[in-house]
Structure 1
């Protein structure tokens, strides 16, 4: 069973949106930074694992970032706000689109 929630981390000025599996491992993660909620990550654990196997992990992380590497129950002092799937998917799709556009712009500019 999957669960969705978000958490605001004041020290980073960032909203984190998470999809977690039944064991508390993050399967998808979105990071929105600053007052404008700029998407800076939209990472998928399955995609990250496939990229690692394929030897393309650096490109994957450069484009989409990385998901948390410890289960939710090991986190310290982060207030979690529950979401429904539809809320998470809306944020996920917008963040993925923004990350892909940034990657295309980097590629077009030769960066």
Structure 2
């Protein structure tokens, strides 16, 4: 069964929003940093693996970041708060848009 939760890591002032599969593997991850909760990552394991196979991993990670490689139970010390799929998806869409906009801005500066 898929699980969605968020966890705040005070030492980094970062909220991690996590989607995990039945085995506890992180399948999607969002990172929001600072008091304004600026989106800094919105990565999908499936997309990350596809980018790795295609040889475009550096571009993917520069745009969307990566997912945690730790099982879900290792998040427990960080007081995970359960989310609904809707709550996760709302943040996912916002974070993905912000990551894509940053990538377009980087591309425009480099052109």
TM-score by length of 2: 0.97
Indicate the RMSD between aligned Cα atoms, in angstroms.
1.1
- Aligned partner of 1:98 in structure 2 is 98
Distance 1:98 1:110 in 2: 18
Distance 1:65 1:37 in 2: 16
- Aligned partner of 2:41 in structure 1 is 41
The runs of 4+ residues in structure 1 deviating greater than 6 Å are none
Partner of 1:74, secondary structure, is: helix
- Deviation string, structure 1 residues 84-111 (Cα, Å, up to 9, x no partner): 0000000000000000000000000008
Partner of 1:27, secondary structure, is: strand
- Aligned partner of 1:21 in structure 2 is 21
Mapping for residues 80-99 of structure 1, pairs under 5 Å:
80-99=80-99
- Aligned partner of 1:69 in structure 2 is 69
TM-score by length of 1: 0.97
* Residue 74 of structure 1: how far off its partner (Å): 3.3
Distance 2:93 2:76 in 1: 28
Distance 2:77 2:3 in 1: 19
Q: Provide structure 2 residue ranges, at least 5 long, that are not aligned to the other structure.
A: none
- Deviation string, structure 1 residues 55-90 (Cα, Å, up to 9, x no partner): 000000000000001211234621100000000000
